[in-house]
Amino acid sequence: MSESNIPDPNASDANTPPRPPLPDSGATGHAGVAAAQPSAQGWYAQAPQPHGQHAPGAAFSSQPAGPSGDAGHGRTHEAKVGSGKIVAVLVAAAIVGAVSGLGGAAIGNDVFQPSSSAAVSSGPTQVTVNDPDQVNQTTGIAAKTLPSVVTISATSSTGGGTGSGVVLSQDGYVVTNTHVVTLDGASSNVALRVTTSDGRVFDAKVVGTDPIYDLAVIKLTDASGLTPIDFADSSTLNVGDTTVAVGAPLGLSNTVTTGIVSALNRSIQIASSAVPDSGEQEQEQGQNGQSPFQFDFGQGQQQGNNSAGTISIAVIQTDAAINPGNSGGALVDDEGNLIGINVAIATAGGGSSSSSEAGSIGVGFSIPSNVVKRVADDLIKNGSASHGLLGAMVGNSADAKDSTVAGALISEVTRGGAAAAAGLKAGDIVTEFNGVPVRDATDLTAQVRALAGGADASVSYVRDGKTQTADVTLGELTD
């Protein structure tokens, strides 16, 4: 058995034009829960403010929403906003695509919204706060976050769809999902049009895609005065923390939903969105070439490149409603800071392509902000992203008859690879990676891929019934 850069979960390998780097997670301060005056802090301004021309009839108050609370996650903040604070929140309700024959996709079922020939649209609307003294926390979070989230329309000669994106810089760098800008791997030649929350429309070009973690960065043409999102440190999240999802489900721009962090360090497999000629579609072949959660566009129809295999990613699970079109949109904390990029949902019936369910059932997934920041920085600087390589073939220990512990069972170690250098051997069962529990091969692959090549990591493993630890310097995944 030889090492492959695209492992099967039961026999898989667990295994870049410079621009300014993105800031460290958590480097930005708490800017309150409502839109305030921005301060230029490198890539990410501290507090958002609407810019440019608003759509007709739309209004937005940029007054801050009173005192902010502590900067931690899961804390209860004062939600009351005095008179004269937030009086309205801009919501441009242009519906770019309607569900007609095609729905959305789910864990595995990504949350990209394919468009149809039937389009539904409406003029911009204003969500008015009738009683400013009773404005709640979610209103403040929405006021802060909405200016940093955009709606992306992607079209090619073979189809089109809508997704969401999050603003990284005032001059128009936006992070989204690879499956949004490749139409789920169907095309590398996609025309992109981006609409901001205040109704401005821009053409955009792809800066770089990363099919390994389903992230992409695009650049809006001749953009200025955009509102960058504030990043939170996703490693400090707790289960139960407040989450707010912002994006364009079903093409409904500037939609806000709320929930909690349902689980952390969840590992999922989704279909790769590498385009057919990218040379990367061979990454992360899943079990029997199938993801346990298939892309499902709601009518038993599949779009994109089915032959590209699957990828394993570590995600935040949330019960905030995420639907087709939310792909690439923001998942923020109780202070409106980014904790994740929405990527997939689970659907009833296990995500089968024959399922008629294509909407939220309260099981949504987001790529953690720390991974997003690292990958987006790589894409902006190099056009591609670095990912770790362990140099070992692994499967699920639970499938071995004599195994008494769940983990990633190493079946083969690549000579000269990272695992071999760390002293790992065939038969070892990896149970922990950098402090994160590993229960199967998907867990290990997702955690390894989240790090860059050359990163240092600690590994706990069981050998001959005894738990041992090792320090590993990861290799780098190559095409």
β-sheet bridge partners, residue 471: 458
User: Amino acid identity, residue 307?
Assistant: S
- The torsion of the CA quartet 211, 215, 217, 220, rounded to 10 degrees, works out to 110
Is 77 annotated as catalytic? no
d(CA 64, CA 36): 5
Largest CA distance in the chain: 70
Report residue 344 as tokens.
């997939």
d(CA 333, CA 103): 28
The full DSSP string for 228-273 is PPPBP-GGG--TT-EEEEEE-GGGBTTEEEEEEEEEEEEEEEEE--
d(CA 181, CA 159): 12
Residues 6+ apart with CB under 8 A from 448: 14, 15, 387, 388, 389, 390, 433, 457, 474
d(CA 370, CA 39): 22
d(CA 180, CA 348): 23
β-sheet bridge partners, residue 217: 175, 208
d(CA 92, CA 200): 10
3-state secondary structure of 398: helix
β-sheet bridge partners, residue 261: 318
Handedness of CA 379, 383, 388, 392 (dihedral sign): positive
Is 334 annotated as catalytic? no
- From the list 179, 198, 234, 443, the catalytic residue is 179
Report residue 77 as tokens.
């903040």
- 198: exposed, middle or buried (Cβ count in 10 Å: 0-12, 13-18, 19+): buried
Contact 478, 417 (CB under 8 A): no
Distances (CA, A) of 106 to 182, 292, 323, 440, 461: 17, 11, 9, 22, 33
- From the list 68, 327, 353, 360, the catalytic residue is 327
- From the list 184, 198, 210, 214, the catalytic residue is 214
Residues 6+ apart with CB under 8 A from 46: 28, 29, 31, 38, 39, 230
Is 262 annotated as catalytic? no
Q: What is the DSSP letter of 144?
A: H
3-state secondary structure of 402: coil
Give catalytic residue positions.
179, 214, 327
